[in-house]
Structure 1
Amino acid sequence: MTSGGAGGTRTAEAGPSVVLAVDSGGSGLRAVLAAHGHGHGHGRHSEAASDGDTAATPPTALGDIAVSREPVRTGPRGISAGHLLEQLLPMARRLMDAAGAVRLGAVAVGAAGLATLGDELRDELPAALEHELGVRRLALVADAVTAYTGALGPRAGAVIAAGTGMIAIGTDLVSWRRADGWGHLLGDCGGGAWIGRAGLEAALRAFDGRQGGSAVLLADAEDVFGPMPELPGRLYPRTDRAAVLASFAPRVAGRAGTDPVAADILRTAARHMAESAAAVCPPDGAPRLALTGGVFKMGEPLLAPLREELATRLPHARLVPAGGDPLAGALRIAVDLADGRLALPRNERMLSVVAEKPYPEIDALNSP
């Protein structure tokens, strides 16, 4: 087999086969390679591993992570396949050249917004990646699924992924269930933007003299954003207002130890997260539950009430450390896809698999 396109012709038999993992999100694009096949340290899912309190050993990256700080644009048909390829193809070729690799056994692309904005990616990426890089096995994956897989691997359970936004996702390995993740205007309850917005509301209440206000959060808000009457004009026109709101969340967490209003905001955020986790967590057995995302770096002011809420709402679940981030999840999916042992549920909008025949084990993933 050969692969061509703008990068020139490569002869597959001349070097090792690797996989490519991609994580596309609000902060940009990341890509990394890994070896695949038995003996490459990608974490076989043995009974011993699946019975432990942490995820099975994740795949080992080959070389550095390639990073672009430019988020992939969206257009009339959702996430732009052209803009993603414009960034990804040079990154992939550099990574392959550095690794001495000539063939991609599989590619997994994890993308924020894939479930609702992924029509163009699903239509255009498979043919483009086959033409440019010779890709014959491709998984298109929602970022919630890569977050889940990075945290827990291919095992039943639930994950709360909270950064600027918040989504809970769970699986019994038959189907996926998700809760929230509706964006900062309609949901993402408990995420960074939600916490920051609640903190700013408390500041504005104090400014107005209404009940429920916080004088210390008012002082913090004025320190960060200036006079409160100017806040709407500074915030509403911005296209990145969710990130701006989330930037105030650490201030709320920093006041939670002494300010009852800030502490109550974090308790409410914890309740929202636990409600979403309870909606998606498998109801039987002792499923694992992991937390992933930047919001949890706020530490005990959020984690302590969250543990209490989870113990009440999900007493049968075991809280375990997350094994890795969404890029690690995409890498695990790529390795398992290349090796013909992808065990995660297939779903057109959450995790779809594209393969060129003859690959009977991949064809089976796509059968009804």
Structure 2
Amino acid sequence: MSTPSVRWVVGVDSGGSGLRVALADAAGAGAPEVVDARTPVRTGPAGIDARHLLELMLPMVRALFVRTGHGASNTGAGAEVAAVAVGAAGMATLGGQLRAELPGALATELGVRRLALAADAVTAYAGALGQRPGAVVAAGTGVIALGTDLAGWRRADGWGHLLGDCGSGAWIGRAGLEAALRAHDGRRGGSTALLSAAESLWGPVTGLPGQLYPRTDRPAVLASFAPHVARCAIEGDPVAEEVLGRAAGHLVEAAAAVCPPAQQGVTRGAGVDVALTGGLFAMGDPLLVPVREQMAAQLPAARLVPAVGDPLAGAVSIAAALADDSLRLPTDPALLHVPLAAPAERGR
């Protein structure tokens, strides 16, 4: 008697710190196998480099098949890649090459039947809330909020550290450094605690512009000061507390902007689940306490719920939904692109 084939799905999370790939049973049996590479996918004039993504991803997928005992690829006995979901930072604006090249390449290399190409905000949403309506605020160095009523997506912020990302790690770090410089100058709104923290990291603050402005990773450098703002707030510095209070206000404003529209006569956010995900919230109560206060003020009828999983888990869940035709999240050319059929299926 033959053993039924295992139908596998692959989830991919591509970001600024590298690439993570998960291999999971499409039926949800067992925990996914995960491997990561610390090399970020290159971005060039044509956007996210599809060939570089494939160079990194394909050996990782094959290594996962070997780990599970199903051979080096989907051609191994009892193994089949039913669907792949790729979540990538910058997909909305830089994903043209991926949309053009990945369907054919993955059909050829892995025999993939179905593919989803998603912005990392979408995989963050799917990881946090699954396929139900709601709103998710994903915050780390930057911040973006995404909401859906399952008919379409609503997005707020995600505009980068010069034009937005309000309440993000970069925003908090910059606000903290501004307060440090105000203290140095003797202007109102300064914090000697934050000034001391900044100088312990970078030396005299008069040298900060020369250290910061030439760098290409300014958002990450600014965000690296956010934990020090949180520490000063824990120690009772009122300026640091005020910075985190303003950050919380911005984050909840973004959540309110993307909550599914209220019906006439119904309070906005009524019954809506709102989840927070991303590394910024690891700073804990210094930020989460004012976030809860702002939720009560701005979205009193919404429910703040814990995120179930991370963006990689979200990519796996999208791939699993594709595999069994149960995808409920709305497709969108920039946010969640699902080709009508992968080349391997066309003509069947």
TM-score, with normalisation over the residues of structure 2?
0.91
Match of 1:62 among 32, 36, 39: 32
Residues 181-220 of structure 1: pairs in structure 2 closer than 5 A: 181-220=158-197
Verify: 1:81 aligned to 2:53, yes or no.
no
Secondary structure of the residue aligned to 2:338 is: strand
Match of 1:178 in 2: 155
Residue type of the alignment partner of 2:238: P
Distance 1:174 1:34 in 2: 28
Match of 1:145 in 2: 122
Secondary structure of the residue aligned to 1:34 is: strand
Contact 1:62 1:99 survives alignment (8 Å): no
Distance 1:186 1:128 in 2: 36
Deviation (angstroms), 1:76? 0.6
Match of 2:83 in 1: 106
Match of 1:348 in 2: 333
Deviation (angstroms), 1:14? 9.1
Secondary structure of the residue aligned to 2:32 is: strand
* Deviation per residue, 1:80-127 (Å, 9 max, x gap): 111111111110111122223422100000001101111111111111
What value does the CA root-mean-square deviation take over the aligned residues?
Answer: 1.8
Contact 1:22 1:30 survives alignment (8 Å): yes
Residue type of the alignment partner of 1:267: G
Match of 2:243 among 239, 256, 265: 265
Secondary structure of the residue aligned to 1:95 is: helix
Contact 1:16 1:100 survives alignment (8 Å): no
Distance 2:46 2:289 in 1: 42
Q: Number of residue pairs matched? A: 328
Match of 1:238 in 2: 215
Residue type of the alignment partner of 1:191: S
Match of 2:137 among 152, 157, 160: 160
Residue type of the alignment partner of 1:275: E
Match of 1:313 in 2: 298
Match of 1:336 in 2: 321
Contact 1:148 1:329 survives alignment (8 Å): yes
Distance 2:54 2:307 in 1: 30
Verify: 1:90 aligned to 2:59, yes or no.
yes
Deviation (angstroms), 1:314? 1.1
Deviation (angstroms), 1:283? 3.6
Residue type of the alignment partner of 2:19: L
TM-score, with normalisation over the residues of structure 1?
0.86
Residue type of the alignment partner of 1:322: A
After TM superposition, the runs of 4+ consecutive aligned structure 1 residues lying more than 4 A away are 357-360
* Deviation per residue, 1:290-317 (Å, 9 max, x gap): 1101111111111111111111111221
Residue segments in structure 1 that go unaligned for 5+ positions in a row: 1-12, 42-59, 364-368
Match of 1:56 in 2: none
Residue type of the alignment partner of 1:328: A
Match of 2:95 in 1: 118
Secondary structure of the residue aligned to 2:187 is: coil
Contact 2:103 2:343 survives alignment (8 Å): no
Distance 1:278 1:135 in 2: 38
* Deviation per residue, 1:54-99 (Å, 9 max, x gap): xxxxxx5333x11111111111111111111111111011112222
Match of 2:14 in 1: 24
Deviation (angstroms), 1:340? 1.0
Distance 1:94 1:74 in 2: 25
Residue type of the alignment partner of 1:223: S
Q: Which segment drifts farther, 157-166 or 234-243?
A: 234-243
Distance 1:345 1:132 in 2: 28
Contact 2:107 2:344 survives alignment (8 Å): no
Deviation (angstroms), 1:209? 1.5
Match of 2:265 in 1: none
Distance 1:228 1:83 in 2: 40
Distance 1:356 1:275 in 2: 39
Distance 1:358 1:343 in 2: 23
Contact 2:13 2:19 survives alignment (8 Å): yes
Query: Percent identity among equivalent residues?
Result: 63
Secondary structure of the residue aligned to 1:30 is: strand
Residue segments in structure 2 that go unaligned for 5+ positions in a row: 75-79, 263-269
Contact 1:111 1:141 survives alignment (8 Å): yes
